[in-house]
Amino acid sequence: SQQGEEDPQALSIQEGENATMNCSYKTSINNLQWYRQNSGRGLVHLILIRSNEREKHSGRLRVTLDTSKKSSSLLITASRAADTASYFCATKEETSGSRLTFGEGTQLTVNP
């Protein structure tokens, strides 16, 4: 079963707008990561947030983590057409060693 569930499944916005994607999970985690996947390509790691962190920034990316609600959000500010991709959250559970559990992803389309 999937640990992470992402919301929405698909998101379409205009260039320049902000995009927000959410991820919920079920068990205690060590960290949560976000990945991007362009169509037909492999995954690219974007950002990692640890369980004792609440917010993290990387360029135009902002990630929040609420361990009490078991949820995370990824905000992409000032979106560009090149941000069009699928975005996945992945959790590293406290008891899973190095294993990551992925959500089903959010398909983001940024229209020029």
List of residues contacting other proteins (CB under 8 A) = 2, 4, 30-31, 33, 35, 40-45, 48, 88, 90, 92, 97-105
- Four-residue CA torsion sign, 82, 86, 87, 90: negative
Radius of gyration of the chain (CA): 13
Shortest Å distance, C-beta 101 to other proteins = 7
Which residue number, 44 or 78, has a Cβ lying nearer to other proteins?
A: 44
Shortest Å distance, C-beta 12 to other proteins = 19
Which residue number, 68 or 98, has a Cβ lying nearer to other proteins?
A: 98
Which residue number, 33 or 72, has a Cβ lying nearer to other proteins?
A: 33
Q: Do residues 61 and 49 touch, judged by C-beta distance below 8 A?
A: no
Which residue number, 9 or 14, has a Cβ lying nearer to other proteins?
A: 9
Extract the runs of DSSP E, i.e. beta strands, from the chain.
Answer: 5-7, 10-14, 19-24, 29-37, 43-50, 55-58, 61-66, 71-76, 85-93, 100-102, 106-111
Shortest Å distance, C-beta 79 to other proteins = 23
